[in-house]
Chain A
């Protein structure tokens, strides 16, 4: 049985449905992150679980207990806010002790627990400071300590690292992961940063317009997006809608106009849309006749990305984006051939997607 279970919940603001028939299950001790474009309902989901919002249908269960109508202050979930939301008029000690005091923990135990927490987040000797006297990363750690010290049944993070600089984000996220795993508390983690989500989560939920399009292990999401939305969101820039397919031995062959593409994707759902990452397309100078899995085109733009160049290539099936490291780059106007190997293709279900080639 899963530890956290959202069944058929729904949220609407001013008659606009933000979440509808929303389901999410999280096993004991797992960290699931919600990833999706701005406005897709990540914060709404989190606030619903926290109890700041009410679902007008369905149920929310945590650890076998029904929480659908339990008020926020009776939930015992730790919430880490994007901008920390520390109490500015309280010392760090009092900030962390606040939740314990609501639970009538004795003075002595409060002291011990707060001190343990400060040590866990690496802020020994900070107990007498005030939030104003801390750096962003330190505030963040206080916010985490404050949420953890109550020994919550569930941890909720809403973009907890988005106010920090890049280096600090990387070190803080592994710290969050370590603390979460040590405490074994299930967690829902919202972030905009894909790398952050992939590195920190047991599973990632890709959301679009209030719906989870795919909930899977990070590597599975990265390599095997299920829908075209997920694919485009995680960086498959090239889409090709095939005209027809034929089975030829074990590999299906796809046709688009005069071009043919062999695709060796293990999860063949019979879908007719193929996607491929810019990194997985090889660009060759035009010359020998074009064969299977190749497409001729013309370079439109070449952008220097540092490690590689990114090319925009116009073909008869629309424009493609390809990244390539090379010493002598192609110039715009060059005739080239795109090589898209069978094992690099992924077949996806059509879902709503920003404009694409094909």
Chain B
């Protein structure tokens, strides 16, 4: 009885999830396999053989993976620095780093449009160096990438700081006292011990940028990503069946990537539990 008691705590969350997530999603996924009451894979065949769609899928995947990678690289040193600050400074820096989250993605995307677009700072600077001004970063995958990194960097930093705070100074000092150089300490101590945070952060960033709508819609111009494509299908073309197929593909792909990340993480980290010894 006692052992099972703790599962009661799961009940409310489970109920909400089942009602508002699992059932609708299952419904969406199931609906993609049936056309007029009979089983079919036609929806999938149609998409997975369509080069236009495959290209969108590829651009989306590439952009979100790149976003994840860049976020990790940028967040890691920043997070390490923040985690080693004194409490007061840490508060200030953390607040500063999540500050971008407080403005809406729409506003931020519009700012990037000004910066990246024709006559923007980048454009003008390029012109100064004699570059052909007709090349604008705006409305390219690069613009989407920049927007997404800006959007998700705070998330990476917060999750990493959370983990790095728990890596004791003494563990790092122990490594040094045993003769480890700075780079060995990084690769063999800091990095493996940060994996839980890297994992959480990366999954959040990946899923977030894989499914992001506003930023790609505004910065990508006619360049579609999978979520804007889905929107077109569902709202503009009013084809909910096909939109569901796209949604299912997104869900499956997300899980595949998360699975791969988990597997990679297992390679670097941590048996016998997390952080503190």
Q: Are B170 and A89 in contact (CB under 8 A)?
A: no
Q: Are A132 and B277 in contact (CB under 8 A)?
A: yes
Whether A130 contacts B271 in the complex (CB less than 8 A), given A72-B176, A102-B178, comes out as yes
Q: Which residues of B contact A81 (CB under 8 A)?
A: 170, 173-174
Q: Are A89 and B174 in contact (CB under 8 A)?
A: no
Q: Is A150 an interface residue (CB 8 A)?
A: yes
Q: Is A139 an interface residue (CB 8 A)?
A: yes
Which of B188, B189, B192, B272 is in CB contact (< 8 Å) with A132? B272
Interface string of B125-147 (1 = CB under 8 A from A): 00000000000000000000000
Whether A88 contacts B272 in the complex (CB less than 8 A), given A73-B181, A76-B179, comes out as yes
Considering the chains assembled together, what is the distance between the CA atoms of A89 and B168 in angstroms? 13
Q: Are B177 and A78 in contact (CB under 8 A)?
A: yes
Q: Which residues of A contact B51 (CB under 8 A)?
A: none
Q: Is A86 an interface residue (CB 8 A)?
A: yes
Shortest CB-to-CB span from B87 to chain A, Å, is 16
Interface string of B158-186 (1 = CB under 8 A from A): 00000000001011011111111100100
Q: Which residues of B contact A86 (CB under 8 A)?
A: 171, 174, 277
Q: Are A131 and B170 in contact (CB under 8 A)?
A: no
Q: Is B17 an interface residue (CB 8 A)?
A: no
Q: Are B177 and A72 in contact (CB under 8 A)?
A: yes
Count contacts on A: residues with CB < 8 A to the other chain. Answer: 33
Which of B180, B269, B273, B275 is in CB contact (< 8 Å) with A98? B180
Q: Which residues of B contact A139 (CB under 8 A)?
A: 277
Shortest CB-to-CB span from A166 to chain B, Å, is 23
Shortest CB-to-CB span from B163 to chain A, Å, is 12
Q: Is A84 an interface residue (CB 8 A)?
A: yes
Which of B178, B193, B274, B277 is in CB contact (< 8 Å) with A84? B277
Q: Which residue of B lies closest to A88 (CB)?
A: B277
Considering the chains assembled together, what is the distance between the CA atoms of A247 and B275 in angstroms? 68
Q: Which residue of A lies closest to B274 (CB)?
A: A88
Q: Is A103 an interface residue (CB 8 A)?
A: yes
Closest 8 CB pairs of A and B: A130-B272, A102-B179, A131-B277, A99-B178, A85-B170, A88-B277, A85-B174, A86-B277
Considering the chains assembled together, what is the distance between the CA atoms of A85 and B274 in angstroms? 14
Q: Are B173 and A72 in contact (CB under 8 A)?
A: yes
Q: Are B189 and A83 in contact (CB under 8 A)?
A: no
Shortest CB-to-CB span from B246 to chain A, Å, is 40
Interface string of B23-41 (1 = CB under 8 A from A): 0000000000000000000
- Looking at chain B, what size class is its interface with the partner chain? 20 to 34
Considering the chains assembled together, what is the distance between the CA atoms of A81 and B168 in angstroms? 12
Q: Which residues of B contact A131 (CB under 8 A)?
A: 272, 277
Q: Is B276 an interface residue (CB 8 A)?
A: yes
Cross-chain pair count, CB within 8 angstroms: 89
Q: Is A42 an interface residue (CB 8 A)?
A: no
Considering the chains assembled together, what is the distance between the CA atoms of A77 and B188 in angstroms? 20
* Other A-B pairs, 13, CB within 8 Å; known A98-B178, A130-B272, A150-B179: A73-B177, A73-B180, A79-B173, A81-B174, A83-B170, A84-B277, A85-B173, A87-B171, A87-B175, A87-B277, A88-B272, A98-B180, A102-B181
A residues 82-131 touching B (CB-CB < 8 Å): 83-89, 91, 98-99, 102-103, 129-131
Shortest CB-to-CB span from B54 to chain A, Å, is 40
Q: Is A75 an interface residue (CB 8 A)?
A: yes
Q: Are B174 and A79 in contact (CB under 8 A)?
A: yes
Q: Which residue of A lies closest to B272 (CB)?
A: A130
Shortest CB-to-CB span from A69 to chain B, Å, is 15
Q: Are B273 and A130 in contact (CB under 8 A)?
A: yes
Q: Which residues of B contact A52 (CB under 8 A)?
A: 173, 176-177
Considering the chains assembled together, what is the distance between the CA atoms of A99 and B176 in angstroms? 9
Which of A50, A81, A88, A129 has the most chain B CB within a 10 Å cutoff? A88
Q: Is B270 an interface residue (CB 8 A)?
A: yes
Q: Which residues of B contact A316 (CB under 8 A)?
A: none
Shortest CB-to-CB span from B29 to chain A, Å, is 38
Which of A75, A77, A88, A130 is in CB contact (< 8 Å) with B275? A88
Q: Is A133 an interface residue (CB 8 A)?
A: yes
A residues 327-342 touching B (CB-CB < 8 Å): none
Q: Is A314 an interface residue (CB 8 A)?
A: no
Q: Which residue of B lies closest to A76 (CB)?
A: B179
Q: Is A226 an interface residue (CB 8 A)?
A: no
Whether A88 contacts B193 in the complex (CB less than 8 A), given A103-B179, A130-B273, comes out as yes
Q: Are B269 and A75 in contact (CB under 8 A)?
A: no
Whether A75 contacts B180 in the complex (CB less than 8 A), given A85-B171, A88-B275, comes out as no
Considering the chains assembled together, what is the distance between the CA atoms of A15 and B21 in angstroms? 59
Q: Is A146 an interface residue (CB 8 A)?
A: yes
Q: Which residues of B contact A88 (CB under 8 A)?
A: 171, 193, 270, 272-277
